[in-house]
Structure 1
Amino acid sequence: MDNEWVNTMAAPRIYTTSFASVYPHYVAKAEKKGRSKAEVDEIIRWLTGYSQEDLDVQLKKKTDFETFIAQSPRLNPSRDLIKGVVCGVRVEDIKEPTMREIRYLDKLIDELAKGKAMEKILRKS
């Protein structure tokens, strides 16, 4: 991903944070509400197109969030159906593409922790 826009402002810290350092928080949030690591992984695979093996490699490599999103094999075309508020911001209103993808993931994990059915989380009709 081209970082030329960084010339005028610093990239958000989350971009340089390793995905592997945030992943356990996603799992803990889900498990605290009776959901599973397998469901967290399914959500991540659905959103990004990573296989389980590729996801495990990204976690092992401690890939930063920006690279994790940029190298996603196939961002799910149904992800634009994800609506709502995360951290006080409407995900559908986020203009910066990388931040929007990160917030999509946050929103899906929130939905999992709130007990929403997987078929609804994964926007299946």
Structure 2
Amino acid sequence: LRPEQQSKARSFFKGASQLIGGSSQRAQIAQALNEKVASARTFLHQSAMTGGRFDTLERGESSSATTAIKPTANQAAQSTFNSFHEWAKQAEAMQNPSRMDIYKIYKQDAPHSHPMSDEQQEEFL
């Protein structure tokens, strides 16, 4: 069993043996409280260990709880910004562009797209 599963298994079997053994309700409550305190100490100790999740984050690496920002993400964001900027320049060059005129500018870069109704746009967002 993994370490986090061991404490669960231990508490399960202790609880089962108490039920079978017929210990008092007071003893069961005391046992449950002692196990909670012990598990809290174990969690604090594990997170303070070198090589734990927080140590990994401090070194700037990715962990299961976070996603590292990769250089390719910055390139994709810059490419998207450049596309928006280019479309905005084309729209500004038009005299009073309508929504359909602006859509046609976008359609040049994405020929397989179809316009959405206002309801579809709201649902999508």
TM range (shorter): under 0.3
Question: TM-score if structure 1 supplies the norm length?
Answer: 0.23
Flag the structure with more relative contact order, 1 or 2, with Cα contacts below 8 A and sequence separation at least 6.
1
Give the structure with the larger helix fraction. Answer: 2
State the structure with more CA Rg. 2
Question: TM-score if structure 2 supplies the norm length?
Answer: 0.23
